[in-house]
Amino acid sequence: MDNSRREFLAVSGVLTGLLVAGGPLALLAPSRAWSIELRTLSSSEGATLQSMTRTIAPHDRLDNAAYALVVKAIDESLQADQHLADVIQSGLGKLGSNFATSPEEVRVNMLKNIEATEFFQTVRAKTLATLYASPLAYAFFGYEGEAFSKGGYLGRGFNDLKWLPEVPLEDSGPVPN
Amino acid sequence: MAQIAHDDSNAVVIIGSGAGGGTLAHELTRRGIQVVLLEAGARQSMASFSQNPGEAFGQLTWLDPRTTSGNWSVREDYPGLPSWTAKTVGGTTVHWTGATPRISPWEVRSRTTYGAVDGTSLIDWPIEYSELLHYYELAEKRMFVTRRHGLPGLPASNHFKVMYNGAKRIGYKRVHTGHLAVNTSPMDDRGMCIQQGFCVQGCKTGAKWSTLYTEIPRAEATGNLDLRVQCHATRIEHGPDGRANAVIYRDAQGNEHRQKARLVCVACNSVETARLLLLSESAQFPHGLANSTDQVGRHYCRHTAGFIWGLFDKPIHMWRGTTLSGIIEDETKHDPKRGFAGGYHLELAALDLPSLPLAGIPHTVWGRDLGFFMEHYDRMAGMLINGEDMPRSTNRVTLNRDVKDRNGLPVAHIHIDEHSNDTAMRAHAQRQGRAVYEAVGAIKTMVSRQTPATHNMGTARMSKDPRDGVCNAHGRAHDVPNLYISDGSTLSTPGSANPTLTIVALALRQAEHISKELKAQNI
């Protein structure tokens, strides 16, 4: 293996965690322990970034693993983009290594102060684009996703709402058999 | 399928295969006219449509660079994607929701109906409504539109039940599952709607009408169509007589070709239609083709759009079911007492989970507000405002000569300064939409800012007077007798209806006109 290849595979940091026992993610995963290798960010930068993504999109019962996937996606996008790597690493440096252990109120205020920066906006956009697109998020939010492969929702709950009156036929249409 | 030679000067060249171009191609080829159909995008199929929302977006969307300016929120929120159009065979009829309301009679006479509104460039359409109505009926029968010509409506989904009951409780009368070009049973060699959602990712049963699997294969079956995919038109050329005579395009490998033409029809969706005409500047037409009165690209309209969300404490599952099958029509009227001219539709609209935070809410929402909102995903209902925006001559598509696409050509630049009429209408619609949800117990409501327009209109509009627009009532360019505009660019004003039905109706009318003119040797 030549040096550039070895360099490409070099691990710069690691994020690890343990899935909450009995949670929806633990049921999907082969093992409760997870570990994600970073290629550009250090472990400490990864931890700060993970905390930042949770502050932007807080879901208390959503496992850290879902947020680690966002960190992984951001870390991957830095490999081929030096400008972005500079933006993210300098932004994380300014937040400091105490960010992740600060109370939420403090974290929110710190982020509010940098809301207009490219650093914040990039992380916000990437968090929103990644966090809710994973199978882990689908399971957590109860989203059933595509249904074509199952014959649609026609016989599977598209009209099962019972807490409001039904719509008269003249304003809707017959349900196909 | 026909193979038409590059130097065959008898060919009709249509650029763009969406609602306008695809329909026109079928109507001309079935009358025996040889057509070259250039499509910049690739060809997908019901089988190849992705069911991963992010992937589907990449598969179908026009992602070539565009830039934007002006006072509209899209400039801040979506600077790289100011308009959401398609780049695929079938164009926006692949990703549309199937909504097919008609423009109202008074909307084609907006200048007369509204009077002079400061800061707008309103004109009356050069077509009588009775004539438009004839083509609406033809288009509706062709597209199997629900709740028209004896066809039933779509059944009510959970999501629509929420809209319906809320609307009725605040006194709205005209509320139903909408007019949609979506099959409620198998018809037209297409499947039926199985309430799967995923309308904008491409309909995998073909229940939703699209030129991709109706007009285009039927045109191919005539033996008169030469469809060239991933062929991006870059310039329309003309002869010394000022008539269009060829189209220059790049194929998938980037190789340049020149197709001779007897007649050229431009149907690239408003933004790219204007760009292509502007790119076709020449010594004889120094400001772009068909632009002697400086009207190309002006009067760009995109509807006063925006989402309204209601959060509830009971389950809804809005993603189950046809994305847009619900409409409130009561505000589709001209009633200046509301504080603005023109009217709007409120249309049911669901978003899939990954798209919701990207398109559905303001980008300033994060932290606990975002968390609370997203955690109600299974107890949420949504609707979309679709209102008439005011044409302004300064709201326009121009060439940005500082930014080039992969072919080295200037990209389209979209400038929008919203008129106070647009903002007053949106505020009214947001109040009404929130009231609908509050009437059935919403614990919270939230509204989005504007999203990149899927409805793009007016940039080469029909006008009686050449000083007011680019083409006549048949879409024929005022300046160039054998150049036609065949997409939503021609709408003289936008009205408050989703534009596809109107585009198809006008394409049917244009096809009759063109074939008659060709037969009479007038072109």
Q: Identify whether A159 is part of a domain.
A: no
- Helix (H) or strand (E) holding A73, with range, is helix A64-78
Query: Does B174 lie at the interface with A, CB-CB under 8 angstroms?
Result: no
H-helix or E-strand containing B110? helix B110-114
Nearest to B356 by CA among B316, B312, B319: B319
Q: How far is CA B65 from CA A81, B56, B403, B414, in A?
A: 19, 19, 8, 12
**Per this entry, what is the length of chain B?**
523
In a domain, A99, yes or no: yes
Give the chain A residue whose CA is nearest to the CA of B183.
A176
Which of B316, B357, B371 shows the shortest C-beta gap to A161? Answer: B316
Q: How many domains does chain A have?
A: 1
C-alpha–C-alpha distance, residues B500 and B92, integer Å: 9
Judge whether B165 and B188 are in contact, CB under 8 Å. no
Whether B57 and B202 have beta carbons less than 8 Å apart is answered as: no
* Chain A contact set for B147 (CB, 8 A): 173
Interface contact A147-B196, CB threshold 8 A: yes
Residue at token pair 């929420």? B162
Per-residue pLDDT of chain A (177 residues; tens, 9 = 90+): 344 444 556 888 999 888 877 666 666 666 788 888 999 999 999 999 999 999 999 999 999 999 999 999 999 999 999 999 999 999 999 999 999 999 999 999 999 999 999 999 999 999 999 999 998 899 999 999 999 999 999 999 999 999 999 999 999 999 997
Q: Is B206 on the interface with A (CB under 8 A)?
A: no
For residue A165, tell me if it sits in a domain.
no
Contact state of B146 with A173 under an 8 Å Cβ cutoff: yes
Residues in contact with B383: Cβ distance below 8 Å, sequence separation at least 6, in sequence order: B163, B307, B308, B326, B328, B346, B347, B348, B349, B433, B436
Give the CA distances from residue A115 to residues A68, A124, B483, in Å, rounded to whole numbers and listed in that order. 22, 9, 50
Would you call A147 and B198 a contact, using CB atoms and an 8 Å cutoff? Answer: yes
Q: Report all structural domains of chain B as residue ranges with CATH numbers, in order of start.
A: 1-46+83-96+101-145+210-302+456-523 (3.50.50.60)
Q: How distant, in Å, are the alpha carbons of A53, A116, B42, B111, B494 from that of B123?
A: 50, 41, 37, 5, 11
Contact B184 A56 (CB under 8 A): no
Domain range for A108: 3-149
Q: Does B50 touch chain A (CB under 8 A)?
A: no
Q: Please tell me the distance from the alpha carbon of residue B392 to that of residue B415, in angstroms, as a whole number.
A: 11
The nearest CA of chain A is from the CA of B434 a distance in Å of: 18
Would you give the end-to-end CA distance of chain B in angstroms? 25
Strands B175-176 and B327-328: antiparallel
> Does the residue A89 lie in any domain?
yes
Among B403, B371, B354, CA closest to B51? B354
HSE of B466 in the Cβ direction (CA atoms, 13 Å)?
A: 10
Q: Is B146 on the interface with A (CB under 8 A)?
A: yes
- How many angstroms separate the CA of residue B260 from the nearest CA in chain A? 44
- CA distance to partner chain A, nearest, from residue B452 (Å): 16
CA gap B36, B214 in Å, rounded: 17
Q: Considering the domain boundaries, does residue A158 fall inside one?
A: no
The alpha carbon of B215 is separated from its chain's Cα centroid by a whole number of angstroms, namely 17
A59 occurs within a structural domain: yes
- Sort out which chain A residues have CB atoms less than 8 A from B205's CB and list them: 148, 152
Distance from CA of A2 to the nearest CA of B (A): 34
Instruction: Tell me how long chain A is.
Output: 177
Residue B71 sits at the chain A interface (C-beta within 8 Å): no
Neighboring chain B residues of A132 at a CB cutoff of 8 Å: 353-354, 356-357, 374
CB of B125 closer than 8 Å to CB of B462:
yes
* B:447-506 residues touching chain A, CB 8 A cutoff: none
Chain A residue with Cα closest to B327: A171
DSSP assigned state of B294: S
**Nearby residues of A31 by Cβ (< 8 Å), 6 or more positions away:** none
- Give kind and range of the element (H or E) at residue B21: helix B19-29
DSSP class of residue A150 equals: G
Distance from C-alpha of B164 to C-alpha of B162, rounded to nearest angstrom: 6
pLDDT of residue A103: 98
d(CA B435, CA A28): 41
Cβ contact B161–A161 (<8 Å):
yes
User: What is the rounded CA–CA span in Å between residue B392 and residue B118?
Assistant: 10
Q: What is the DSSP string of B449-479?
A: ----BS--B-TT-B-SSTTT-SB-TTSBBSS
- Complex ipTM tops 0.90: yes
Counting as low any pLDDT under 70, the low residues of chain B are: none
CA dihedral B142, B147, B152, B157 (to 10 degrees): 120
Instruction: Give the integer Cα–Cα distance in Å for B416 and B70.
Output: 5
